[in-house]
Structure formats: C-alpha cells, structure tokens
Amino acid sequence: MQLSWKPHHLSCCSFTFFKLVCKYLNHIMGLLDRLSGLLGLKKKEVHVLCLGLDNSGKTTIINKLKPSNAQSQDIVPTIGFSIEKFKSSSLSFTVFDMSGQGRYRNLWEHYYKEGQAIIFVIDSSDRLRMVVAKEELDTMLNHPDIKHRRIPILFFANKMDLRDAVTSVKVSQLLCLENIKDKPWHICASDAIKGEGLQEGVDWLQDQIQAVKT
C-alpha cells in the first residue's frame, strides 16, 4: 500500500516540533536563570520604602542613586507616591518614593507589608519640624506591619551642606534612634544634590538586606 502525506500532516508535525523546541528552550532558560542566581550574576530584587517629611530630599536622593543617563533634570514634589528603580553591586532596588506632605502620609502604612527595608530621610536643617519627623517615625515603628519585623532602616540626615544643618549625631539624638533596639539601623549625613553620603548608606543597606530575612 502506498503512503501519501497530506498538508495537514506536515503542519501537525511542525507544530509538535515547535512545541518541543519551546519546551526545551524554556528549560534551558530556567537553568540559566538559576545558575546566574547561584553565581551572583542576577541581581536580587528588593522593595524599599522611602519615607520622610515633604521637602526633606527623598526624591532627589533616589534620583541621584539612578544611573546618570536615567536621572531627571527637574525634581518636583511627589504627589501620592512614585516608583523608581536603581541598582547596587548585587541588588536591584524598587523604591516606593512616598509623598511626605501631611495629607498623603496616611498612604505610607498601606505599603509597609511590601517593604523589605526603609529609607527615612530627614532635613537636618529644619529644626522646627524635627519633632514632626520624630512623631511620624514613632507612628511607623509602632505600626503592626513594622513593629514585629526586623526590617533594616537607613536614615539620611540630608542637606548637611546647609549652614543651619545639625550633625547626624544630633539628628540621631533628636529622633531618639538609640531606642530602636529590635531593628538594624544606620544614619548617614548626606548632600543629595552632590550625592555625598549616599553610597555609604546604600552599601550598608545592601549588607543588611542580604543578612536579614524580613
């Protein structure tokens, strides 16, 4: 008996072959993905909340941490929140830049569960509102989604270049940071416009995120 091939036979075989190739490629990509993670070639992604009062310099700091070709030239006050990204030597940061204006601060708590670390920015030249910054910090630390977690907190005592700025040691005293016993924290004096002090803080935060399971 003579066998004959019909067009749909070829189409069916081609489709089956295509599915096998896709399955094989997906398997290879999965292996490469796991291998890159083991070798440290793939950066682990972490979610970070950037908090602080309005005009403290949060957005300027996050902008400065991004690659130069991705930085914005005009910084405007954050309305609600914005999501930004930057990378360190081994981590990929997704940052929730939360507005510090009074009417938006109640949004902070809705993102606490997502945060694996916190960047808290203080205007070290604004002594009058240091009390308000402390109140917001205390409220955050006592929130159920933060209180019982060993989540690292990086403080930037920003605007250190201004004449009225107090030292990071003084900021630490005014905020009573020594009372934070159950969470790793670190404070850096910073100048967001020049980028001074930022890398020191990010290096510390990177080490803490890699060491602490939140």
Q: Partners of 51 in the beta sheet?
A: 120
Q: Is 57 annotated as a binding residue?
A: yes
Q: Is 52 annotated as a binding residue?
A: yes
Q: Is 161 annotated as a binding residue?
A: yes
Q: Is 80 annotated as a binding residue?
A: no
Give residue 102's identity as a one-letter amino acid code: G
Q: Exactly one of 2, 101, 173, 206 is catalytic; name it.
A: 101
Q: Is 159 annotated as a binding residue?
A: yes
**Tokens in use for 85?**
């990204």
Q: Is 58 annotated as a binding residue?
A: yes
Write the DSSP assignment of the chain as a string of letters.
Answer: ------HHHHHHHHHHHHHHHHHHHHHHHHHHHHHHHHTT-SPEEEEEEEEE-TTSSHHHHHHHHS-GGG--SS----SSEEEEEEE-SSEEEEEEEE--SGGGGGGGGGGGGG-SEEEEEEETT--TTHHHHHHHHHHHHTSHHHHTS---EEEEEE-TTSTTPPPHHHHHHHTTGGG--SS-EEEEE-BTTTTBTHHHHHHHHHHHHHH---
Q: Is 54 annotated as a binding residue?
A: yes
Q: Is 55 annotated as a binding residue?
A: yes
Residue 169 near residue 160 (C-beta atoms within 8 A): no
Q: Is 53 annotated as a binding residue?
A: yes
- Residue 208: active-site member: no
Give the residue numbers annotated as catalytic, written as ranges. Answer: 101
Q: Which residues are annotated as a binding site for GTP?
A: 52-59, 100, 158-161
Q: Which residues are annotated as a binding site?
A: 52-59, 78, 100, 158-161
Q: Which residues are annotated as a binding site for Mg(2+)?
A: 59, 78
